[in-house]
Chains A and B, each alone.
Chain A
Amino acid sequence: MTALIEAAGLTRVLPAAVPVTLVQDISLTIGEGEFVAITGPSGSGKSSLLYLLGLLDRPTAGLLRISGRDTEGLGEREKARLRLETLGFVFQFHFLLPEFTVQENVEIPMRRLGRLPPGAMRERSTQLLEALGLAGHLDKRPDQLSGGQRQRVAVARALANDPPLVLADEPTGSLDSKNSEQVFAILDALVRERGKTVIAVTHDLEMAALTSRRIHLVDGRVTQDETLPGG
Chain B
Amino acid sequence: MRLILDLALTHILGRGRQTLVAVLGVALGVGFSIAMAALMQGGEDDFVARLVDTMPHVAITDERRAARRQPAQDQFASVQIAGLRPKDDRRGILNPTQATALLRAWVPGRMASSLKTQGVVRYAGRDVGIGIIGIEPQAEMRVSSIARDFRQGSFTSLIAGGNNIVVGDRLAQRLGAELGTTVTVVSSTGQTRAFKIVGLFHTGTTARDEGEGYVLLKNAQILSERPNAINEIRLKLDDPASAPQVARRAEALIGYKAVAWQEANESLLEALVIRNVIMYTVVGAILLVAGFGIFNIISTITHEKARDIAILKSLGFTETDMRRLFLLEGLVLGAGGSLIGWAVGFGLCFTLSLVRFELSGASVVQEITRLPLAWSIWHYLIAAGFALASAGIAGYLPARQAARLNPVEIIRGAT
Chain A residues with a Cβ under 8 A of chain B = 47, 51, 54, 56-57, 76-77, 80-85, 87, 89, 91-93, 95-97, 99-100, 108-109, 111-113, 157, 161, 169-170, 173
Establish whether residues A169 and B411, one from each chain, have CB atoms under 8 Å apart when the complex forms. Answer: yes
Query: Which residues does chain A contribute within 8 Å of B307, judged by CB atoms?
Result: 95
Q: Please measure, in the bound complex, the distance between the C-alpha atom of A56 and the C-alpha atom of B10, giving whole angstroms.
A: 25
Q: What chain B residues lie within 8 Å of A113 (beta carbons)?
A: 316
Point out the residue from B3, B7, B316 that lies within 8 Å of A83, measured CB to CB: B316
Question: Which chain A residue lies CB-closest to B403?
Answer: A76
Main secondary structure, interface of B, reads: helix
Which residue of the partner chain, among A56, A97, A161, A170, contacts B408 with CB atoms under 8 Å?
A56
User: What are 15 A-B interface contacts by the 8 Å CB criterion?
Assistant: A77-B318, A87-B316, A91-B411, A95-B307, A95-B314, A95-B411, A97-B7, A97-B308, A99-B10, A100-B10, A108-B312, A111-B3, A112-B317, A113-B316, A169-B415
The reply on B77 being an interface residue by CB < 8 A is no
Q: How far is the CA of A83 from the CA of B310 in the complex (A)?
A: 13
Distance in angstroms from A105 CB to nearest chain B CB is: 10
Known: A97-B308, A112-B316. A47 touches B412 (CB 8 A): yes
Q: Which of B296-327 touch A at CB < 8 Å? A: 307-308, 310-321
Contact between B3 and A112, CB atoms less than 8 A apart: yes
Task: Specify the chain A residue showing the minimal Cβ separation from B311.
Answer: A95
A150: min CB distance to chain B, Å? 13
Task: State whether B415 touches A92 (Cβ < 8 A).
Answer: yes
- Answer whether residue B87 sits at the interface, using C-beta atoms and an 8 A cutoff: no
The verdict on A81 contacting B316 (CB below 8 Å), with A95-B311, A97-B311, A112-B3 known, is yes
Q: Which residue of B lies closest to A158 (CB)?
A: B315
For residue B271, CB closer than 8 A to chain A, the reply is no
In the complex, chain B residues whose CB is within 8 Å of the CB of A92 = 414-415
> B415 touching A47 by the CB < 8 A rule?
yes
A80 touches B412 (CB 8 A): no
State the Cβ distance, B295 to closest chain A Cβ, in Å.
22
Q: How far is it, in angstroms, between the C-alpha of A54 and the C-alpha of B311 when the chains are bound?
A: 13
**Separation in Å of the B188 CB from the closest CB of chain A?**
89
Distance of A87 Cα from B310 Cα, bound (Å): 15
- A216 CB, nearest partner CB in chain B, Å: 20
B385 in contact (CB, < 8 A):
no
Q: Which of B395-415 contact A (CB under 8 A)?
A: 406-408, 411-412, 414-415
Within 8 A of A (CB), among B56-103: none
Given contacts A56-B313, A95-B411, 16 further A-B contacts (CB under 8 A): A47-B415, A54-B314, A56-B408, A56-B411, A80-B317, A80-B318, A81-B316, A82-B316, A83-B314, A87-B316, A91-B414, A97-B311, A111-B3, A112-B316, A112-B321, A113-B316
B17 within 8 A of A: no
Q: How far is the CA of A92 from the CA of B314 in the complex (A)?
A: 14
Complex: A126 Cα to B313 Cα, angstroms: 24
A57 and B10 CA atoms in complex are apart in Å by 28
Choose among B310, B314, B318, B414 the residue with the greatest number of A CB atoms under 10 Å from its CB.
B314
Give the docked Cα–Cα distance between A84 and B317 (Å).
8
A-chain residues with CB within 8 Å of residue B415 when the two chains form the complex: 47, 91-93, 169-170, 173
* B347 contacts partner chain A, Cβ-Cβ < 8 Å: no
Which chain A residue lies CB-closest to B308?
A97
CB of B126 within 8 Å of the partner chain: no
> Which chain B residues lie closer than 8 Å to A112 at the CB level?
3, 315-317, 321
The residues in B between 261 and 316 inclusive whose CB is less than 8 angstroms from any CB of A are 307-308, 310-316
B binding-site residues for A, Cβ under 8 Å: 2-3, 7, 10-11, 14, 307-308, 310-321, 406-408, 411-412, 414-415
Most buried by A among B311, B315, B408, B412: B315
**Docked CA distance A216–B411 (Å):** 22
* Nearest CB on B from A194, distance (A): 20
- Counting chain A CB atoms within 10 Å of each CB, the highest count among B2, B308, B320, B415 belongs to B415
Q: Are A56 and B2 in contact (CB under 8 A)?
A: no
Distance, CA A76 to CA B407, complexed state (A):
13
Q: A108-B3, A112-B3 are in contact. Are A51 and B10 (CB under 8 A)?
A: no
Contact between B314 and A89, CB atoms less than 8 A apart: yes
Smallest CB-CB separation from B314: which chain A residue? A89
CA A83 – CA B10 in complex, angstroms? 24
Q: Shortest distance in angstroms between B111's beta carbon and chain A's nearest beta carbon?
A: 73
A21 to chain B, nearest CB (A): 16
Q: In the complex, what's the smallest C-beta–C-beta distance from A113 to chain B, in angstroms?
A: 7
Q: Tell me if A76 and B316 are in contact (CB < 8 A).
A: no
How many Å lie between the Cα of A57 and that of B3 in the bound state? Answer: 25
Q: Cβ of A109: which chain B residues have Cβ within 8 Å of it?
A: 315-316
Contacts of B11 in A (CB 8 A): 99
For A100, list chain B residues within 8 Å (CB): 10
Q: How far is the CB of B10 from chain A (nearest CB, A)?
A: 4
Cα separation A113 to B317 with both chains bound (whole Å): 9
User: CB distance A108 to B10 under 8 Å?
Assistant: no
By beta carbon, the residue of chain B nearest A160 is B315
Complex Cα gap A85–B315 (Å): 9
Contact among A80, A85, A161, A173 with B313 in the assembled complex (CB-CB below 8 Å): A80
Given contacts A51-B408, A112-B3, whether A83 and B414 have CB atoms under 8 Å apart is no
Chain B residues whose CB sits within 8 angstroms of the CB of A96 once the complex forms: 311
Q: Which residues of B sit under 8 angstroms from A170, Cβ to Cβ?
A: 415
Minimum CB–CB distance from A231 to chain B (whole Å) comes to 27
* Chain A residues within an 8 Å CB radius of B313: 56, 80
A80 with B316: CB separation less than 8 A: yes
